[in-house]
């Protein structure tokens, strides 16, 4: 039991290591994953400034721009990951190893979270400095909690997709493409989601980022509360439920993928 | 004590092609990848599965390494049912397949190997020590800090092989470990496999190959499979003896001998044939003897005639011959197509 736990922890760290190292090894990330997002974030800031939107909108946009790093990471490096791992021939090695499959997903998530954080912090810090964002934090504890819950739920969603996408094979790629833009809109990365109207906002809340962003904005900026979708405490409650739901769903999706794959011979590549 | 590996009527079928391809036939055609395979492999054995492309070798390894379910029948690894208790089986095994492209290009060889060792809960210190040892054994030490995206096929394959050995599994599955490697690297890899099994008495290796010589040289016992069926299973030498095909002696002499009929009269000569080579002035003689000891009578007769023996060789049946007699086709031919 104890050795099993240790093995799984080592596996989580081992898999995370790939991304911990990868986060810094190829310096080109600075341009493609930090500067470019910063530019698109900046363009929204200027739009709001031109429209003479309230001051807090600048902060909203910077926060949203930083959080996109996590969304991109979940989409490209979590949801599509098992599919790529299979293509590379790594998936079978993970499945043959005496570890829980969740450990691999957790390792990917931990590493991915670290990697995305380096990007997010860059956008956040540089953006805040350039545009002199004014933070008025109401409750640091709640802010941290809501950020944490958002990440758990978000990566839980990514884990769940990972197994499902693997089963869909090539279409996984197209599906990922399909998800990226609409979620930018629905989750309100660059504007308060309330602007979409309450019903759509609520539907969009199924994506953990929507509530996470909304809650964080309410807690970190002066006029945040007025543009919030729901009460922050309620949002925290929903995020807890989403976190648990996605983690459990990820577990079952994984089981389903493995059983299905073992039955149909789809866990490994054919050509060998 | 249980077998290291045992299969009982192990069968696996696949549906042929995609559904849309055979829309006219209602029932999908089935491929028999494995057809009631019965094998027993003892602890400490280096066991080879030899067969042409599509014989079912990889399917067998996938089932035994818990990546694929059998359609029917049972596969046991160290006495444990692979379909029922895969978690228990995984603690005892590892697997490497030839030509796999595993690992992460951004990590170095050493980091990749370490990463995979962590899936087996190895202590980092122990793991790195083993990795360095094995890299030395395969002459890879100077590649240790190279990113694997920069490795050649051969080096990459060596790294994969090392991965299989790092965690020192009880039972190791190797699917065509020398596929596509040059002679030198293949030899090093074979040496490593052989010494690992010999040094550690209880370690078992199941390897598949379609190289005859590899099976012959490396394996204690070999199962020949084709179309999912085991056609024969025995030690390479027994398989060859079972062919009841005689050894042939080739002798080349430096004269155009005549009056060759007298070679038929030598006691112990069962069959004799010859060929004159007028352009070189030499003669090729071929003998099948009752047994090897009669060769001295033959060579004596040659020197009595005042001619010199330029070369003498003995050709014994190979596994290739065994294969041809069992399957009605050659193995190597298929590799070339
Ligand atoms: N996932 C799969 N779906 C459908 N058919 C499959 C699948 N895997 C294997 N087959 C078929 O089963 C048969 C046995 O395949 P297998 O890969 O076990 O052969 P092999 O002996 O390993 O051949 P090779 O020397 O080419 O590696 C082949 O006819 C193959 O096409
Ligand atoms: Mg194969």
- Stretch A10-32: mean pLDDT: 86
Q: Which of B58, B80, B135 is nearest to A98 (CA)?
A: B80
CA-to-CA separations, B105 to A87, A184, B8, B139, B314, in angstroms, rounded:
14, 31, 41, 21, 50
What CA–CA distance (Å, rounded) separates B163 from B101? Answer: 12
Distance CA A197, CA A211 (A): 14
Give, as residue ranges, everything with CB less than 5 Å from ion ligand 2. B 57-58
Residue nearest to atom 22 of ligand 1 (CA): B58
> What is the spatial distance between Cα A44 and Cα A50, in angstroms, rounded to a whole number?
10
Contact check, Cβ <8 Å, A265/B62:
yes
Dihedral of CA atoms B188, B192, B198, B204 in degrees, nearest 10, equals -130
Phi/psi of residue B146, nearest 5 degrees: -90, 140
Examine the pLDDT at A271 and tell me if it is beyond 80: no
**In this structure, which ligand is nearest to the CA of B97?**
2
**Is residue B331 very low, low, confident or very high in pLDDT (cuts 50, 70, 90)?**
low
The proportion of chain B whose per-residue pLDDT surpasses 90, expressed as a percent, equals: 54
Least confident of A123-132, A134-143, B210-219, B288-297: B288-297
Taking Cα atoms as reference points, which of A198, A225, A219 lies closest to residue A148?
Answer: A219
Residue B231 scores a pLDDT above 80 = yes
Mean per-residue pLDDT of chain A: 88
d(CA A150, CA A189): 14
CB contact under 8 A, A263 and B104: no
Q: Which residues of B touch A3 (CB under 8 A)?
A: 121
How do residues B216-227 score in pLDDT, each as one tens digit? 999 999 999 999
DSSP letters along B12-64, please? EEEE-S-GGGG-SSSSPPEEEEEEEEEEEE-TT-EEEEE--TTSSHHHHHHHH
Q: CA-to-CA distance for A55 and B49, rounded, in angstroms?
A: 73
* Residue A22 at interface with chain B, using a CB cutoff of 8 Å: yes
Q: How confident is the model over B232-257, as a mean pLDDT? A: 83
Residues of chain B positioned with their CB less than 8 A from the CB of A97:
90, 116, 119-120
Ligand 1 centre distance from Cα of residue B181 (Å): 21
Order of all β-strands in the sheet with B46-50: B93-97, B171-175, B204-209, B46-50, B221-226, B229-234
CA separation, residue B149 to residues A28, A243, B100, B113, B153 (Å) = 17, 37, 13, 14, 10
CA of B57 to the centre of ligand 2 (A): 5
C-alpha neighbours within 13 Å on the C-beta side of residue B169: 32
Residue B55 CA: which ligand 1 atom is closest? 21
> How far does CA B236 lie from the centroid of its chain?
10
Q: Which residues of B98-112 are buried (b: 16+ CB within 10 A; e: fewer)?
A: bbbebbbebbbbbbb
Tokens coding A52: 């003479």
Residue B134 confidence (pLDDT): 95
For B177-241, the DSSP string reads TTTT--HHHHHHHHHHHHHHHHHSTT-EEEEEES-HHHHHHH-SEEEEEETTEEEEEE-HHHHHH
pLDDT value for B1: 67
Share of chain B above pLDDT 70, in %: 93
**Which element (helix H / strand E) includes B326?**
helix B319-327
Given this model, what pLDDT does residue B330 score? 66
- How high is the pLDDT of residue A229? 85
| Residue B68, helix vs strand vs coil | coil
A124, A60 Cβ separation under 8 angstroms: no
Residue A97 has its nearest CB partner, among B58, B62, B119, at B119
**CB-based contacts of B78-87 (< 8 A; 24+ apart in sequence):** B78/B2, B78/B4, B78/B5, B78/B170, B78/B171, B79/B2, B79/B3, B79/B6, B87/A98
- pTM for the predicted model, two decimal places: 0.86
* CATH number of the B245-316 domain: 3.30.70.100
Confidence of residue B334 (pLDDT cuts 50, 70, 90): very low
B223 touches B39 (CB < 8 A)? yes
The domain locations on chain B are 5-240, 245-316
* Of A25, A30, A20, residue with least CA distance to A123: A30
Fill in the DSSP letter of residue A191: S
Ligand 1 contacts (CB < 6 A) are A 265, 270, 272; B 14, 31, 33, 51, 53-59, 210
Which pLDDT score is estimated for B337? 31
Handedness of CA B227, B231, B234, B240 (dihedral sign): negative
Say what the alpha-carbon torsion angle B196, B198, B200, B202 is, to the nearest 10 degrees. 110
Is A24 at the interface with chain B, CB within 8 A? no
CA of B99 to the centre of ligand 2 (A): 10
Q: Does A29 touch chain B (CB under 8 A)?
A: no
Residue B207 and residue B219 in contact, taking contact as beta carbons nearer than 8 Å: yes
Strands B269-277 and B282-289: antiparallel
Residue-level pLDDT at A270: 61
Q: Lowest mean pLDDT: which of A115-129, A171-185, A221-235, A257-271?
A: A171-185
Distance CA B320, CA B331 (A): 7
Q: Who among A3, A94, A96 is closest to B93 (CB)? A: A96
- Report CA(B221)–ligand 1 centroid distance (Å): 23
pLDDT digits (tens, 9 = 90+) for A157-209: 999 988 888 887 667 677 777 777 788 788 888 888 888 888 888 888 888 88
Question: For residues A272 and B67, what is the distance between their CA atoms, to the nearest angstrom?
Answer: 14
Residue among B30, B54, B67, B226 to mutate when testing ligand 1 (max atoms within 8 A of CB): B54
Q: Which two tokens stand for residue B251?
A: 């002798």
CB contact under 8 A, B119 and A11: yes
CATH code for the structural domain at B5-240: 3.40.50.300
Contact residues, chain A, for B104 at CB < 8 Å: 18, 22, 90
For A44-91, how does the pLDDT look when each residue is reduced to its tens digit (9 = 90+)? 889 888 988 888 888 899 999 999 899 888 988 888 888 889 888 899
- Taking the CA of residue A66 and the nearest CA in chain B, the distance in Å comes to 25
Give mean pLDDT, residues A109-133.
Answer: 92
Task: Return the H-helix or E-strand segment holding A2.
Answer: helix A2-25
Q: Which residues of B touch A268 (CB under 8 A)?
A: 62, 67-68
Distances (CA, A) of A272 to B52, B66, B100, B101: 13, 16, 8, 11
What is the pLDDT averaged over residues B286-294?
85
Mutate which of A23, A259, A265 to test chain B, going by most B C-beta atoms within 10 A?
Answer: A265
Nearest CA to ligand 1 atom 17: B58
Measured between beta carbons, which residues in chain B are less than 8 angstroms from residue A11?
118-119, 121
């Amino acid at each position: 039991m104890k050795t099993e736990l240790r093995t799984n922890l080592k596996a989580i760290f081992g898999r995370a290591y790939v991304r911990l190292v990868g986060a810094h090894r190829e310096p080109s990330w600075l341009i493609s994953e930090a500067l470019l997002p910063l530019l698109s974030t900046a363009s929204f800031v200027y739009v709001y400034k031109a429209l003479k939107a309230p001051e807090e909108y600048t902060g909203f946009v910077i926060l949203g721009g930083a959080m996109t790093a996590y969304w991109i990471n979940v989409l490209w490096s979590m949801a599509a990951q098992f599919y790529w791992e299979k293509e590379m021939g790594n998936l079978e090695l993970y499945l043959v190893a005496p570890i829980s499959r969740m450990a691999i997903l957790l390792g990917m998530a931990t590493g991915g979270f670290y990697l995305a954080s380096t990007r997010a912090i860059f956008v956040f810090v540089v953006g805040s400095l350039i545009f002199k964002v004014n933070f008025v934090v109401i409750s640091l504890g709640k802010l941290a909690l809501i950020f944490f819950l958002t990440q758990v739920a978000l990566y839980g969603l990514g884990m769940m997709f990972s197994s499902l996408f693997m089963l869909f094979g090539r279409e996984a790629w197209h599906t990922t493409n399909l998800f990226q833009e609409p979620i930018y809109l629905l989750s309100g990365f660059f504007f308060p989601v309330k602007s979409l109207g309450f019903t759509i906002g609520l539907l969009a809340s199924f994506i953990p980022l929507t509530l996470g962003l909304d809650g964080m904005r309410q807690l970190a900026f002066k006029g945040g509360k007025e543009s919030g979708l729901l009460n922050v405490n309620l949002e925290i409650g929903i995020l807890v439920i989403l976190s648990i739901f996605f983690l459990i769903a990820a577990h079952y999706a994984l089981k389903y993928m493995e059983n299905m794959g073992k039955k149909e011979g789809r866990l490994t590549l054919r050509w060998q | 004590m249980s077998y290291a590996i045992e299969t009982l009527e192990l069968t696996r079928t696949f549906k042929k092609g995609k559904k849309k391809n055979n829309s006219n036939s209602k029932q999908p055609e089935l491929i028999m990848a494995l057809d009631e395979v019965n094998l027993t492999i003892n602890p400490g054995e280096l066991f080879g599965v030899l067969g042409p492309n599509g014989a079912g070798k990889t399917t067998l390894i996938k089932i035994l390494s818990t990546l694929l379910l059998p359609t029917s029948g049972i596969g046991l690894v160290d006495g444990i049912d692979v379909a029922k208790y895969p978690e228990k089986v995984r603690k005892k095994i590892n697997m490497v397949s030839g030509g796999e492209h595993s690992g992460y290009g951004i990590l170095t060889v050493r980091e990749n190997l370490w990463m995979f060792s962590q899936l087996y809960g190895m202590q980092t210190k122990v793991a790195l020590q083993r990795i360095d040892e094995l890299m030395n054994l395969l002459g890879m030490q100077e590649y240790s800090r190279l990113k694997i995206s920069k490795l050649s096929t051969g080096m990459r394959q060596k790294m994969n092989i090392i991965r299989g050995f790092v965690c020192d599994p009880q039972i190791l599955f190797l699917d065509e470990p020398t596929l596509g490697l040059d002679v030198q690297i293949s030899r090093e890899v074979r040496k490593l496999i052989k010494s690992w099994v010999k040094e550690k008495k209880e370690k078992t290796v199941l390897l598949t190959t379609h190289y005859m010589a590899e099976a012959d040289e490396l394996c204690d016992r070999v199962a020949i499979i084709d179309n999912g069926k085991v056609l024969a299973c025995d030690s390479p030498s027994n398989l060859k003896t079972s062919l009841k095909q005689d050894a042939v002696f080739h002798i080349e002499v430096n004269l155009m001998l005549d009056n060759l009929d007298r070679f038929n009269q030598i006691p112990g000569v069962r069959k004799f044939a010859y060929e004159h080579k007028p352009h070189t002035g030499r003669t090729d003689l071929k003998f099948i003897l009752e047994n090897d000891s009669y060769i001295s009578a033959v060579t004596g007769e040659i020197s009595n005639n005042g001619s010199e023996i330029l070369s003498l060789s003995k050709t014994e049946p190979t596994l290739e011959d065994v294969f041809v007699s069992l399957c009605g086709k050659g193995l190597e031919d298929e590799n070339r197509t």
